[in-house]
Chains A and B, each alone.
Chain A
Amino acid sequence: MYGAGGRAVEVGRQAVVGARTGLGLGVRRTAVNMGPSLTARSASSLSLSTLSLLSLPASSCLLRVSLAESSLSSKGIVKEKGKVRGMASVTGAANEGEKKPTRPIYLDAQATTPLDPRVLDAMLPLMTWEYGNPHSRTHQYGWETEAKVEEAREHIATLIGASDSKEIIFTSGATESNNTAIKGVARFYGGSDSTKPRPHVITTQTEHKCVLDSCRVLQAEGAADVTYLPVGTNGLVDLAQLDATLAANPHTVLVSIMAVNNEIGVVQPLAAIGALCRKYKVFFHTDAAQAVGKIAIDVNAMHIDLLSVSGHKLYGPRGVGALFVRRRPRVRLEPLINGGGQERGLRSGTVPAGLVVGFGEAARVAKAEMAYDHARISQLSARLVGGITARLSHVIRNGDPVQTYPGCVNLSFAYVEGESLLMALKDIALSSGSACTSASLEPSYVLRAIGADDETAHSSIRFGIGRFTTVDEIDFVIDRVVDRVTRLREMSPLWEMVQEGIDLKSIEWSQH
Chain B
Amino acid sequence: MIDIAISAILTVFILANIMNLGGLLLWVERKGSAILQDRIGANRAALLGKLPINIGIINTLVADPIKLFTKEDFVPPNADKFLHWMAPILAMVPALIAFIAIPFGDILVIGEREINLQAANLNVGILYILGMVSLGVYGVVLAGWASNSRWALLGGIRASAQMISYEIALGLALIGVVMTFGTLDLQEIARAQGHMIGGVLPGWGIFYQPVAFFIFLTAGIAESKRIPFDLPEAEAELISGYFTEYSGAKQATFMLVDFLESIIVAGLITTLFFGGWQVPFLMRDGLHLPGDIFYPLPSLLVTLVQHGAFVTKLAFFCWLQIMIRWTLPRFRYDQLINLGWKILLPIALANVLVTGLMILIFQA
Is chain B a partner of chain A in the same complex?
no
Interface residues of A (CB under 8 A from B): none
Interface residues of B (CB under 8 A from A): none
